[in-house]
Amino acid sequence: MFQTGLIGLVGSLGAVSKIVLVILFIFSVISWAIIFSKWRAFRVADREDKQFLALLVKAHSLDELYRQVRRIEGSPSACVFEGVMERVGSGRVEGRDGSGSGPVEQHVVERAASHLAQSQLSRLESYLPFLATTGNITPFIGLLGTVMGIIDAFREIGTQGTASISAVAPGVAEALVATAAGLFTAIPAVIGYNYFLTRIRSTAFRLDSVTIELLSSLSTAVSKAKKPVPVGVQG
C-alpha cells in the first residue's frame, strides 16, 4: 500500500518536480557509487599500509625492504618509499653542502617524497569534491522543486476557488516530496565526505611518518659511508 501510494504521489507531480527528482536520483546514485568505491579503496590502503609498516620494522636494510615492497601495490606508504628509493638509488644521498656518498642531494629527496605523498593523497581524494558538491546543492535543488510544486498547488487552488484543507494538502504534500528527496541525497554525501576526509588525514600522518623514517635511515646510511677507516687497516 505504501509503495502504491508513493508511486501515485510521484506520478501526480508536475513536470518541473519530476525533472528535479530525476536530477536528485542521478546525484544520489553517483554519490553512493563513490562512497562504496572509496570505502573499498581506503580499506585496501589501510590493510596494505599495515603490512608495509610491519615490514619496515622488521627489515634490516633499505635494500631488503625495497625488494619486499614490490609485492605491496595498494599501500600509499609503500608507493612513496618505492618511489624515493628509485629516485635516490639504494639510499645514496648527499647533504645540502654537497657531502655524501652519492649524487642525490637531501633536499631533492625531501621534495621527491613530498611530491609522491601528495600524489597518493590526490589519488585518494579523487571524486570526493563531487560528494561535497552533492551535499551543498541538492537541498537547494529539492527546495526548487518544492517551490515550483507549491506554485502549482496555489494555481490549482485559484482555479478551484477554494482554500480548504482537502484542496491545499495534496498539492503541498506533493511539493514537499522534492525537499525530502534533496535531503535524502545530501545527508549521505555529507557524512561520506567528512568520513573520508578523516581517513585522508590519517593516511597523510602515516605518509609523514614513513618519510621521516626514510630520511633518517638514508642519513644513517650516509654517516656510515662517511665513517673514516682506521689507520691500522689501511692498505
Q: Which residues of the chain have pLDDT under 50?
A: 1-4, 90-103, 229-235
The pLDDT value given to residue 158: 74
pLDDT value at residue 2: 38
Neighbours of 79 (CB within 10 A): 22
β strands within the chain, DSSP E: none
- Report the pLDDT value the prediction gives residue 65, as an integer from 0 to 100: 77
Look at residue 130 in the predicted model and tell me its pLDDT. 96
Residue-wise pLDDT tens digits, 87-105: 776 444 444 444 444 445 6
Per-domain residue ranges for the chain? 13-223
Distance from C-alpha of 173 to C-alpha of 57, rounded to nearest angstrom: 62
**pLDDT (tens digit, 9 = 90+) per residue, 28-41?**
999 999 999 999 99
Q: What is the pLDDT of residue 26?
A: 95
- Cα separation, 160 vs 225, whole angstroms: 94
For residue 12, give the nearest of 226, 169, 212 by alpha carbon. 169
